[in-house]
């Protein structure tokens, strides 16, 4: 399938480079394929761990870039030809990661206007020991300040409430 290019790499308002829509995009559109090196799960896990350790206690917030393709293989998207790696996280994303038929696509979950920056939820699990290392500057009204999967926002809020209550008592 030939997909028309609806995006370009540009300077991001959020962080470093980003992907900007070059035309209006409808909801549920496959926009950009997340490509990379196909590696075994074992190799993917090893690389994830190495990268996480590297970013721990460092000034740079790096991405791990490993996606699960199926139960045997991962995709390592850290390669330069994978432009989808420039897409930033947002607390109010306009895209999501779609994995179907052994392909990973970034698809729109709402209407996107020409000039808007693409974003998706990186899906980082909440971990009370290191969430502060991943500051979010997505600029969304609902931004919670850290890169945490929206699935885990409840956990984060519960944890913060506990800290505030402790301080007040
Ligand atoms: Zn945010």
Instruction: Please count the structural domains in the chain.
Output: 1
Specify the pLDDT at position 16: 85
Helix (H) or strand (E) run with residue 71 in it:
none
CA 119–ligand 1 middle distance (angstroms)? 10
- Higher per-residue confidence, 28 vs 61: 28
Confidence band for 100, pLDDT divided at 50, 70 and 90: confident
CA 101–ligand 1 middle distance (angstroms)? 31
pLDDT higher than 80, residue 59: no
Specify the pLDDT at position 34: 95
Q: Is 124 among the domain residues?
A: yes
CA 147–ligand 1 middle distance (angstroms)? 6
Q: Which two tokens stand for residue 139?
A: 């600029």
Specify the pLDDT at position 143: 96
Q: Is 117 among the domain residues?
A: yes
Q: Is 48 among the domain residues?
A: no
Q: Is 2 among the domain residues?
A: no
Backbone angles phi, psi at 88, to 5 degrees: -90, 160
Domain span including residue 110: 7-35+82-168
Domain CATH code at residue 114: 2.170.270.10
Q: Is 64 among the domain residues?
A: no
Give the rounded percent of residues in the chain with a pLDDT score beyond 90.
67
pLDDT higher than 70, residue 56: no
CA 87–ligand 1 middle distance (angstroms)? 14
Specify the pLDDT at position 1: 56
Strand partners, 17: 11
Specify the pLDDT at position 110: 98
CA 10–ligand 1 middle distance (angstroms)? 19
Q: Tell me whether strands 37-40 and 66-68 are parallel, antiparallel or unpaired.
A: unpaired
CA 86–ligand 1 middle distance (angstroms)? 16
- pTM for this model (two decimals): 0.87
CA 148–ligand 1 middle distance (angstroms)? 9
CA 1–ligand 1 middle distance (angstroms)? 34
Instruction: Give mean pLDDT, residues 2-24.
Output: 89
Give the rounded percent of residues in the chain with a pLDDT score beyond 70.
93
């Amino acid at each position: 399938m030939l997909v028309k290019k609806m995006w370009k790499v540009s300077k991001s308002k959020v962080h470093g480079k980003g992907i900007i829509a070059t035309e209006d995009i409808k909801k549920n559109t496959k926009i950009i394929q997340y490509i990379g090196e196909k590696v075994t799960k074992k190799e993917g896990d090893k690389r994830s761990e190495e990268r996480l350790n590297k970013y721990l206690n460092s000034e740079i917030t790096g991405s791990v870039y490993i996606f699960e393709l199926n139960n045997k293989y991962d995709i390592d998207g850290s390669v330069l030809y994978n432009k989808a790696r420039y897409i930033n996280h947002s607390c109010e994303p306009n895209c999501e990661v779609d994995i179907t038929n052994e392909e990973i696509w970034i698809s729109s979950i709402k209407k996107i206007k020409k000039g808007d920056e693409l974003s998706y939820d990186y899906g980082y699990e909440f971990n009370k020991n290191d969430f502060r290392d991943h500051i979010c500057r997505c600029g969304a009204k609902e931004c919670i300040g850290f890169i945490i999967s929206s699935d885990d926002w409840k956990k984060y809020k519960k944890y913060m409430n506990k800290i505030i209550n402790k301080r007040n008592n």
